[in-house]
Amino acid sequence: MRSQKYPSYEERFGRFSRSVEKWLVGLVILLLLSLTFTQILLHFDTVRAWLVEVERLEGVAS
């Protein structure tokens, strides 16, 4: 019979998956916040003209 000295595979996998899940949730939250922030910035004409090339070229015939 195996000694209980070492944690089982399920316990180790559970700890690992919880830590990965925390990182992924944090990453998703960070990406959603950055998306929201950039969308708010695009509402300002000066920022939009600086970031979006189409804004500068709009109405210009080539």
pLDDT in tens, 26-39: 999 999 999 999 99
pLDDT the model gives residue 15: 95
pTM of the model: 0.68
CA 48 distance to own-chain centroid: 22
Nearest to 26 by CA among 16, 34, 38, 37: 34
pLDDT the model gives residue 31: 99
pLDDT the model gives residue 38: 95
Q: CA separation (Å) from 22 to 1, 16, 31, 48, 59?
A: 35, 10, 14, 34, 47
pLDDT the model gives residue 44: 93
10 Å Cβ neighbour count for 3?
A: 5
Ranges of the chain with pLDDT below 50: none
The domain limits of the chain are 9-57
